[in-house]
Chain A
Amino acid sequence: MSAEPSPKIVIVDESPIRAAILEEGLREAGCSSVVRISGMQSLLARIYALDPDIIVVALENPSRDILEQMFQVSRAVRRPIAMFVDQSDAASIQASVDAGVSAYIVDGLKKERIKSILDLCVFRFNAFSRLQEELDRTKLALEERKVIDRAKGILMRLKGLTEEEAYGLMRSTAMREKKKIGEIAQSILTASELLK
């Protein structure tokens, strides 16, 4: 980044991990002044005290409405402009909302500079979402794995099958009924509960 002084950035996020991921990215990109805050208690006063050039906030954060007060003309602070640096830049706006992030920017910063910071926020937010999804999928897969193992045990016991045969039976049933093997396993567990 250029030699002009690094803008002061405040990240408002209730997710400490995501905020940390974003902060790291911003620092790598040469933004040395990054502060993370959370919670609603006297949020505006804290932001005014920090006097940032850019405020990054997650769209899922209800505090966004509190930040809207900054646009009131009667406020004796520098007037930030909205997340949309340029009304005509529809693609950036879409990308930022899709990623779930918005930024409020104080008037006077160079457009290119803002764009590169916004792009970075979008990129890091998306990366965090992917991580989150992956984690959720892994958790789900682990859960499903447990269900399948228990269903296999039941089949082995009730039908005198080997482990492989029990699994094979569930798989062929799943294919025939066009269901997932996890669903078949769950039905076996439910049925065995009912028949107890």
Chain B
Amino acid sequence: MTKPLHIGFIPLVDAAALIVAVDKGFCTEEGLDIRLVREVSWSNVRDKLNIGLFDAVHLLAPVAIASSLGLGHVKVAIAAPFNLGINGNAITVSPALHAAIMDEIDGDRFDPLVTSRAWARLVAKRRKAGVEPLTFGMTFPFSTHNYQLRFWMATGGVDPDEDVHLVVLPPPFMVDSITNGQVDAFCVGAPWNSIAVDRGVGHILHFVSDILERAAEKVLAVRQGWSEENPDVVTSLVRAASRAAEFIEQPGNRAEAAQILAQPERIGVDAEIIRRTLDGRLKISPDGTVRESSRYLLVGRQAVGRPDPVQAAWLYAQMARWKQTWVSPEAIKTAMAVFRPDLYDAALGTSGRLLKHGAIGAFAGPAFDPRDITGYLASFEIPRRLL
């Protein structure tokens, strides 16, 4: 048994593989002694990893990249040997905003192109009437949520920096904030969308998998230097997490997995609500309407665990698109090198050739090519003339 590892996480369903790996004993079987520490903010998770108080963390994929590039904070090289989740977020809007968007809908209300245009028309009307822009909550400046919201809005013709207020809120505070009117909508991971629907204060407008078919969400992150000093520990961690991810995806194990995640010191909400996320069967309206998606949150299917550097490049492109950084060939290389399929393969004896799955799959814009990020971004002028 090695010395205990301290691993930080935020109470979200996409920490499932990590939590189950520990609580189901898979880590112990790999010879690891893990202390899971529930954290209150992504800033804490990042900082405690950076200074070595945590050995590994459940982390927003873009934060791992931002840290490695020194964006927004100190520069610490991060390695992500395991991808904890693909997709899993949703956009939830208040009942009033939902009704207003539905009034503008012209087509399939689950088609993000249709909703983004409806939203743009609503924004244009509100602006003409001289009313204050609406407020959307998201979880962190460097977050998939931020980029997913922006991608969706911008496609319809809404400038996320001009036409709305985008504010950061920690996930557990989203539901209260939409209840007291501090935000009109939010993009957050599970289980918080479902809780808003259950309380009658929100409608799930979109699963983010409507917007992007496949987007890396959270990674298991370690300091790059640490990964070099502790290769065996990294291998054991990847094995335990991978086993847990597969365990969770077996329909027969879902009830048990949901039960483990529901514990107060883990996510601390009803197992039934967690189960909805794992099953991809979500109540989307307070009236009980249910919507299903086989891609809502991927944990242990379709080679999710294997970090895909193309995903890292796409996230980097979003940072550049929204002026958090600028495109440079060295930075692209650094961003892609954060995702470490080599460490994953070394631990599990897999190889990339056999695990090819399409990347991104956005509902609008050209296919993403990491070799031409500048060209890709040039195609994304926000069509302001619509407003």
Within 8 A of A (CB), among B39-53: 40-44, 47-48, 51, 53
* CB-based contact A62/B167 at 8 Å: no
What residues on A are CB-neighbors of B161 within 8 Å? 74
Whether, in the assembled complex, A37 has its beta carbon less than 8 Å from a beta carbon of chain B, the answer is no
* CB-based contact A84/B43 at 8 Å: no
Our pick among B74, B168, B169 for the contact of A84 (Cβ within 8 Å) is: B74
* CB-based contact B72/A68 at 8 Å: yes
* CB-based contact A61/B48 at 8 Å: no
Knowing A41-B182, A73-B323, A82-B74, the reply to whether A65 touches B51 (Cβ < 8 A) is no
Our pick among B48, B75, B141, B177 for the contact of A72 (Cβ within 8 Å) is: B141
Our pick among B53, B73, B139 for the contact of A97 (Cβ within 8 Å) is: B53
What residues on B are CB-neighbors of A18 within 8 Å? none
What residues on B are CB-neighbors of A42 within 8 Å? 182
What residues on A are CB-neighbors of B200 within 8 Å? none
* CB-based contact A65/B47 at 8 Å: no
Our pick among B51, B177, B323 for the contact of A74 (Cβ within 8 Å) is: B323
CA distance A62 to B48 in the complex (A): 14
* CB-based contact B73/A71 at 8 Å: yes
Our pick among B40, B75, B141, B177 for the contact of A68 (Cβ within 8 Å) is: B141
What residues on B are CB-neighbors of A17 within 8 Å? none
Whether, in the assembled complex, B324 has its beta carbon less than 8 Å from a beta carbon of chain A, the answer is yes
Residue of A nearest to B45 (CB): A65
Whether, in the assembled complex, A172 has its beta carbon less than 8 Å from a beta carbon of chain B, the answer is no
From A25-33, A86-94, A122-130, A142-150, the one touching the partner chain is: A86-94
B17-60 CB mask vs A (1 if < 8 Å, else 0) is: 00000000000000000000000111110011001010000000
Whether, in the assembled complex, B280 has its beta carbon less than 8 Å from a beta carbon of chain A, the answer is no
The contact size tier of chain A is: 20 to 34
CA distance A66 to B167 in the complex (A): 8
What residues on A are CB-neighbors of B75 within 8 Å? 87
What residues on A are CB-neighbors of B324 within 8 Å? 72-73
Within 8 A of B (CB), among A79-132: 82-84, 87, 90, 93-94, 97, 102
* CB-based contact A68/B323 at 8 Å: no
What residues on A are CB-neighbors of B48 within 8 Å? 97
Q: How far is the CB of A15 from chain B (nearest CB, A)?
A: 14
Whether, in the assembled complex, A60 has its beta carbon less than 8 Å from a beta carbon of chain B, the answer is yes
Q: How far is the CB of A106 from chain B (nearest CB, A)?
A: 16
* CB-based contact A62/B182 at 8 Å: no
A20-51 CB mask vs B (1 if < 8 Å, else 0) is: 00000000000000000000111010000000
What residues on A are CB-neighbors of B41 within 8 Å? 59, 61-65
Whether, in the assembled complex, A69 has its beta carbon less than 8 Å from a beta carbon of chain B, the answer is yes
What residues on A are CB-neighbors of B169 within 8 Å? 40, 65-66
* CB-based contact B74/A64 at 8 Å: no
CA distance A72 to B140 in the complex (A): 11
CA distance A87 to B169 in the complex (A): 27
Q: How far is the CB of B89 from chain A (nearest CB, A)?
A: 16
* CB-based contact B74/A87 at 8 Å: yes
CA distance A62 to B140 in the complex (A): 12
- Which among B51, B53, B168, B172 has the greatest number of chain A C-beta atoms within 10 A? B168
Which residues on A are within 8 Å of B, measured CB to CB?
A: 40-42, 44, 59-69, 71-74, 82-84, 87, 90, 93-94, 97, 102
Q: Pick 10 A–B contacts, CB within 8 A, sort by A.
A: A61-B40, A63-B41, A65-B42, A66-B168, A69-B168, A74-B161, A83-B47, A84-B74, A93-B51, A97-B48
Q: A59-B44, A61-B41 are in contact. List 15 more A-B contacts (CB 8 A).
A: A40-B169, A40-B177, A62-B172, A64-B40, A64-B41, A65-B140, A68-B73, A68-B168, A69-B167, A72-B72, A84-B74, A87-B75, A94-B51, A97-B47, A102-B47
Which residues on B are within 8 Å of A, measured CB to CB?
A: 40-44, 47-48, 51, 53, 72-75, 139-141, 161, 167-170, 172-173, 177, 182, 323-324
